[in-house]
């Protein structure tokens, strides 16, 4: 499960780490939440940082899907996996767990503190139109901020590794650095495995419970 995460790396470091052009829309997210426009790198435009909404609703679903299980990826999201893949950029994600002192949020990172990419898939969508004061209809006319297409993404999840299992039985697919561009190039499901590198975790403020809170204090240990 992955319902919140963070990405607050400076823009120039995002560009160099993920080898992409970074535009003006990029900014820090200490509490990235579903429905927000968040930074991704797509297979359709792998040299540029895009911003898509987190969570899309397939035809068979009643609500937006923010996580997609790798075990049923081809069955439920086969078209997206084959044609529309992305990297979801992060430097940590949050899990809520009770380790004996009540349920509270923990921030999970790579042990070396380096940013990483979670595997995702994406889907274009037509925004709802609204009546304007001039009698015309429009809601961005099919374009996101800065002329980007309107699109939404979901994060792929897999079974937890030994470290993650303390906090949850599922985890996002954290790609190895050398697997990031491979995921964009082809739907190689051998990449969609539990992360085998060292990880770290620490408790953070319960203020992260509310997506309205988005400030640097949220990533500090408590």
Q: Would you please indicate which residues are annotated as catalytic (active-site) residues? A: 2, 95
Q: Which residues, including other chains, have CB under 8 Å from residue 163's CB and lie 6 or more apart?
A: 198, 199, 201
Check: CB of residue 44 under 8 Å from CB of residue 123: no
Write out the H or E segment, with its range, that includes residue 79: helix 73-83
The residues facing 154 across adjacent strands are 121
Handedness of CA 145, 146, 147, 152 (dihedral sign): negative
Phi and psi of 189, rounded to 5°? -75, -10
């Amino acid at each position: 499960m992955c319902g919140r995460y963070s990405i607050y790396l400076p823009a120039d470091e995002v560009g160099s780490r993920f080898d992409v052009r970074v535009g003006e829309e990029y900014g820090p997210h200490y509490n990235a939440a579903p429905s927000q426009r968040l930074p991704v790198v797509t297979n359709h435009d792998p040299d540029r940082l895009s911003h898509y909404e987190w969570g899309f609703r397939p035809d068979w679903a009643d609500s937006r899907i923010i996580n997609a299980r790798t075990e049923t990826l081809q069955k439920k999201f086969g078209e997206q996996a084959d044609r529309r893949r992305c990297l979801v950029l992060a430097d940590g994600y949050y899990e809520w767990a009770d380790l004996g002192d009540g349920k509270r949020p923990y921030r999970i990172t790579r042990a070396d503190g380096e940013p990483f990419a979670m595997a995702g898939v994406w889907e274009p969508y037509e925004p709802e139109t609204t009546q304007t004061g001039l009698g015309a209809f429009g809601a961005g006319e099919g374009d996101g901020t800065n002329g980007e297409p309107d699109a939404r993404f979901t994060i792929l999840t897999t079974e937890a590794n030994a470290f993650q299992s303390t906090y949850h039985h599922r985890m996002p697919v954290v790609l190895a650095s050398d697997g990031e561009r491979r995921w964009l190039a082809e739907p190689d499901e051998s990449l969609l495995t539990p992360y085998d590198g060292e990880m770290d975790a620490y408790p953070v403020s319960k203020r992260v419970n509310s997506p309205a809170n988005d400030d640097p204090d949220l990533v500090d240990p408590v």
